[in-house]
């Protein structure tokens, strides 16, 4: 079955053809759906019962396999994407089962996206369905969102003499078991939500990597392509003596700048700890603020437990980091890693070139860091840590060094011409 929807979007290929037009135009995108039928059989560890059946998902588009943060834990999720004409859900047909299944009414969990934290389970379940000896079904309704697509079955190895699970007295519940079949996660789409996603690159705030390719065959849209260094403004007020360990040192103007731009703060004891090393967690927090402000937001995050999780979640979702890239959040971050974070937060191509650096002594042209580091040198953001301009990529970086690099990045007046 094919669905054709109207999408308001600026598509690159059509923009070239329709260059004389202005504003948004209507484009039709054809999305093909099908019915997924999957044979399933297995043996339940808790009771030893065997089952055989079929899982059916109507209006099925495809599966997204991607890491998701669900209730604070990262999971490797297989998300079934559906776009139902009327109501969407999952059906299970059982052809064989060793035990006795009782009639039951079931509902589904739904998950809401919280920026920087991932998906959190809603307090109330949604949808409706039922399960029995022959199988079950779960109707998720028609509201776009992420749901659990599991059909739950409640059984005992011998018939206890009851038809519905609600009729079983409390003292008999110790004889019961349960299992589920279906899809762990279902992303339900509507015409409206698909329109919104293809226009903005986000669905309820989340970018859903791979979804655009599934729907249209195109690459993911950069939902944050509107970044601008002009978005950085001094919103805080710094006065000399704010930090007891910052006075007239070379880094004092940079500490003042990163504080006023809302990018770095002190340690809570009236010190900045300029010679202290920056940890991975602190660097990711800084990178998240940079990215957020660069793209027109306020750079404010609500911290939870642990304090850095909201930043790690944000940076992961925006492609700034991979969670697997760092073995510890508490260790010191290297100068190489810091430079990579900066390059992932902002567009370096737009930096004005004020230097003419042709090479960096200790970074090879084959190094994946080379192009970004060279752009930062020529923009006067990096100046080198040695007389010959060496970057010392594998050394740990101090907080005062970070303050210098970051303040130069966001404030052109602080950039340095290399003599």
DSSP 172: G
Q: Let me know whether 246 and 185 are in one domain.
A: no
Q: Let me know whether 50 and 161 are in one domain.
A: yes
Q: Which of 229, 157, 142, 144 is nearest to 193 (CA)?
A: 144
Q: Let me know whether 343 and 236 are in one domain.
A: yes
Residue 47 lies in a domain: yes
Q: Let me know whether 140 and 241 are in one domain.
A: no
Residue 261 lies in a domain: yes
Task: Work out whether strand 73-82 and strand 177-188 pair parallel, antiparallel, or are unpaired.
Answer: parallel
- Between CA 199 and CA 202 the distance in angstroms is 8
Q: What is the dihedral of CA 367, 372, 376, 379, to 10 degrees?
A: 120
pLDDT at 223: 57
- Between CA 275 and CA 273 the distance in angstroms is 6
Residue 210 lies in a domain: no
Q: Let me know whether 179 and 235 are in one domain.
A: no
Tokens encoding 371 = 């192009």
Q: Let me know whether 255 and 330 are in one domain.
A: yes
Answer whether 53's CB lies under 8 Å from 135's CB.
yes
Residue 311 lies in a domain: yes
| Residues near 363 by beta carbon (within 8 Å), at least 6 away in sequence | 369, 370, 373, 391, 393
Sign of CA dihedral 407, 410, 415, 418: positive
Residue 224 lies in a domain: no
pLDDT at 310: 86
Q: Let me know whether 167 and 238 are in one domain.
A: no
pLDDT at 12: 34
Q: Let me know whether 256 and 147 are in one domain.
A: no
- Between CA 320 and CA 288 the distance in angstroms is 8
Domain that holds residue 174: 33-189
- Between CA 283 and CA 264 the distance in angstroms is 10
pLDDT at 27: 54
Length of the chain: 419
Answer whether 226's CB lies under 8 Å from 296's CB.
yes
Residue 265 lies in a domain: yes
Answer whether 308's CB lies under 8 Å from 329's CB.
yes
User: How far is Cα of residue 402 from the mean position of the Cα atoms in its chain?
Assistant: 26
The domain boundary, picked from 167, 189, 211, lies at 189
pLDDT at 225: 57
Q: Let me know whether 156 and 287 are in one domain.
A: no
pLDDT at 349: 86
Q: Let me know whether 242 and 184 are in one domain.
A: no
If one counts every other C-beta atom within 10 angstroms of the C-beta of residue 160, the result is 16
- Overall domain count for the chain: 2
Walk along the chain (419 residues) in steps of 10 and give the mean pLDDT of each run. Answer: 57 31 50 93 94 96 92 90 87 96 96 86 92 96 94 96 95 95 96 89 87 89 74 94 95 97 90 96 96 90 85 86 89 96 91 95 95 95 90 96 97 94
Residue 11 lies in a domain: no
- Between CA 403 and CA 406 the distance in angstroms is 5
Q: Let me know whether 173 and 234 are in one domain.
A: no
- Between CA 290 and CA 272 the distance in angstroms is 19
pLDDT at 69: 87
Q: Let me know whether 166 and 249 are in one domain.
A: no
Residue 276 lies in a domain: yes
């Amino acid at each position: 079955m094919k669905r054709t929807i109207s999408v308001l979007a600026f598509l690159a290929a059509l923009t070239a053809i329709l260059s004389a037009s202005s504003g948004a135009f209507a484009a039709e995108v054809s999305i093909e759906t099908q019915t997924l039928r999957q044979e399933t059989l297995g043996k339940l560890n808790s009771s030893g019962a065997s089952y055989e059946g079929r899982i059916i998902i109507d209006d099925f588009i495809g599966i997204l396999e991607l890491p998701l943060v669900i209730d604070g834990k990262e999971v490797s999720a297989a998300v079934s994407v559906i776009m139902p004409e009327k109501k969407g859900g999952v059906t299970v047909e059982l052809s064989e089962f060793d035990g006795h299944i009782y009639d039951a009414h079931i509902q589904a969990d739904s998950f809401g996206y919280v920026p920087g934290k991932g998906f959190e389970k809603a307090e109330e379940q949604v949808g409706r369905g039922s399960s029995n000896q022959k199988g079950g079904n779960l109707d998720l309704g028609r509201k776009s969102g992420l749901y659990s697509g599991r059909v739950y079955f409640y059984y005992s190895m011998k018939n206890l003499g009851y038809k519905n699970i609600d009729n079983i007295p409390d003292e008999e519940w110790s004889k019961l078991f349960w299992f589920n079949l279906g899809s762990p996660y279902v992303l339900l789409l509507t015409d409206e939500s698909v329109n919104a996603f293809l226009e903005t690159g986000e669905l309820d705030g989340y970018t859903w990597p791979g979804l655009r390719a599934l729907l249209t065959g195109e690459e993911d849209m950069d939902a944050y392509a509107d970044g601008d260094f002009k978005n950085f403004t001094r919103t805080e007020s710094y006065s000399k003596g704010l930090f007891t360990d910052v006075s007239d040192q070379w880094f004092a103007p940079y500490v003042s700048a990163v504080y006023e731009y809302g990018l770095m703060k002190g340690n809570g004891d009236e010190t900045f700890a300029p010679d202290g090393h920056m940890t991975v967690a602190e660097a990711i927090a800084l990178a998240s603020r940079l990215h957020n402000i660069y793209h027109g937001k306020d750079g404010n995050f609500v911290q939870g437990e642990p304090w850095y999780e909201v930043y790690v979640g944000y940076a992961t979702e925006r492609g700034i980091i991979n969670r697997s890239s760092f073995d510890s959040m508490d260790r010191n971050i290297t100068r190489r890693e810091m430079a990579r974070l900066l390059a992932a937060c902002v567009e370096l191509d737009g930096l004005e070139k004020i230097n003419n650096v042709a090479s960096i002594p200790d970074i090879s042209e084959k190094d994946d860091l080379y192009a970004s580091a060279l752009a930062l040198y020529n923009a006067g953001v990096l100046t080198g840590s040695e007389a010959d301009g060496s970057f010392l990529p594998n050394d740990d970086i101090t907080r005062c060094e970070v303050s210098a690099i970051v303040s130069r990045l966001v404030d052109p007046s602080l950039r340095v011409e290399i003599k």
